[in-house]
Amino acid sequence: MLLITREMPPEVLARAQAEHEVRELRLQGRFEPRHILDNIAGVNAILCIPADKFDAALINALPDAVKVIGTFSVGLEHIDLDAAAARGIKICHTPDVLTTATAELSLTLMLMAARRAGEGERILRAGQWPGLAPTFHLGRGVSGKTLGILGMGRIGRALAQMARGLNMQVHYRNRTRLAPELEQGAIYHEDDASFLAALDFLSINAPGGKETFHWLNAARIALLKPGAIIVNTGRGTTIDDDALIAALRTGHIAAAGLDVFANEPEIPPGYLALENAVLLPHIGSATIEARNAMGFLALDGIKAALA
């Protein structure tokens, strides 16, 4: 039996039901271990999402019949991999298939933040548009500017390719320097100071975890040019929210476009009052094409593990 924690796209659910006996939980909001443990009888596979935290305590409480946990995500921070390995539980995830969708959303946020699109829509909806004027609602152009990418993996490289179409110069920070054929002219920086000082735009596309926790803190924000714009579609934990909110208030950071947050679905309230913060509800991979591909890939992994 396959236990599915959340509502899945119709095509994904149909395939799951064709291949397995399925028990759907359709959970919403905050996850609790009891959601799993109260419904685990007869289950040998689980399909979850990043909002479902499978820590060591939960994994150790699973019955021996559970052989695989599939996660509807690229990241694995929500699963204690050591505990799963100790129990002989296989883990499968969904890399590669959401690359384009997430890169597109990074570009969307960058353009929205630069051109103050969210603020402009709110003006219209409130009936407060005074009409055209030479100085009304001025934003910042993107063409010819410098984009820095933190995390030059598949998504970062896809964003770089899109940015080149906008005549942007691309700089990047990464664990290691890429081969020239992957860099495609992007400029690598070995240290944060030279990287941040060069940027008009910073896009965070790095994974979560201890290495990147609060990477964008007050000290690194101070290294950015006044008026820089920040975008994050990676992990919310990469940003020190208090520091970014303070920089948005002073204007040192002109705008930010954020799709991910540290304690989702809770949002730091300081962002909500800021007109120069573009906020989206973690929809980086939320296209029909990407979500179907993610579900199918997770089911492929579950099928292979059970076989």
Residues recognised as catalytic: 235, 264, 282
Amino acid identity for residue 181 in this structure = E
Residues 295 and 72: beta-carbon distance below 8 Å? yes
Q: DSSP readout, 167-193?
A: T-EEEEE-SSPPPHHHHTTPEE-SSHH
**Nearest to 213, CA basis, from 236, 195, 185, 246:** 236
The closest of 47, 95, 54 to 78, measured between CA atoms, is: 54
Q: How far is CA 90 from CA 25, 66, 119, 168, 169, in A?
A: 21, 9, 46, 42, 42
Dihedral in degrees, nearest 10, Cα atoms 161, 298, 49, 26: 130
Per-residue tokens: 21: 């006996």
Dig out the tokens for 179 from the structure: 């081969």
Q: Which residues are paired to 47 by β-bridges?
A: 4, 70
* Contacts with 21 (C-beta within 8 Å, 6 or more apart), sequence order: 1, 2
Nearest to 233 by CA among 209, 202, 198: 202
